Structure formats: C-alpha cells, structure tokens
Structure 1
Amino acid sequence: VTLKIYNMLGQEIKTLVNEQINAGVNTVTWNGQDNFGHKVSSGAYIYQIVSGNFVQTRKMILLK
C-alpha cells in the first residue's frame, strides 16, 4: 500500500505509507510536513492511495 500527498501541481509532497498493511480499518495521520520535515502551507492537496490494482485519488484541504 502506498499513500502519497501531492500539491495541486501534481508534485509529491509527502509519502505517508509505503508498506504492506493488513486488511481492515487503518488510520493514518499527516502532521502537515513534507518529505523533508518542512511544514507546508494551508491549502488544497491531493492524496492518492494505491493497493494492488486499486487506486483512489481525492482532494483535501489542510487548515492550520
């Protein structure tokens, strides 16, 4: 399973998950930082979950 966050330009901001995860309900919390540990700005972001053939992409808003 991978869970990545992208900015609205499609640039990868953060990889939150990149590992095998057991089936069921799982929770991931993003601390608002990018892959380099820098805090990102409030605004719209895209997250994408990929697991095998399943791909889900959605928009979200980060408010500080």
Structure 2
Amino acid sequence: MREQANDRPIGVFDSGVGGLTVARAIRDQLPNESMIYVGDTARTPYGPRPIAEVRSFALEILDGLVEQGVK
C-alpha cells in the first residue's frame, strides 16, 4: 500500500535571482505542490563573501524554511 502524499510545501532557497527559473520549473513539473521560495536579494552577491559568512546566511534561511515545515 502506498503512503499518502506529503502535503508539506517544497522549500526553495535562492542566494540571488537565478533560483526563480528553478522555482518556475518546479511549479511547471509539480503543479499540485505548494512552494515556499526565499530569494536573498538583500545580501547578493554571495560570490565575494567569505565562506563562513555565506554559510551563516544559508543556515539562517534554511532554518527558517525548516521552521515553516518544508520538505
């Protein structure tokens, strides 16, 4: 017997604006899924930042997504 589908939203983290195409592709391929998209445009670009700072930003955002119950 198959398990019921997980109804939690898909979490998408974007460190800039490139993730919008990924979010659109998810929406197109999985139209019945809900999604929470977080685009961190306030702190872009991530590229020149120290890795520890980028890691801190990413963990902060991912913690927020997990708190919202994403899969």
Both structures adopt the same fold (TM-score exceeding 0.5): no
TM-score normalised by the chain length of structure 1: 0.29
Q: Which has the larger radius of gyration?
A: 2
Q: Which has the higher strand share?
A: 1
Q: Which has the higher helix share?
A: 2
TM-score normalised by the chain length of structure 2: 0.27
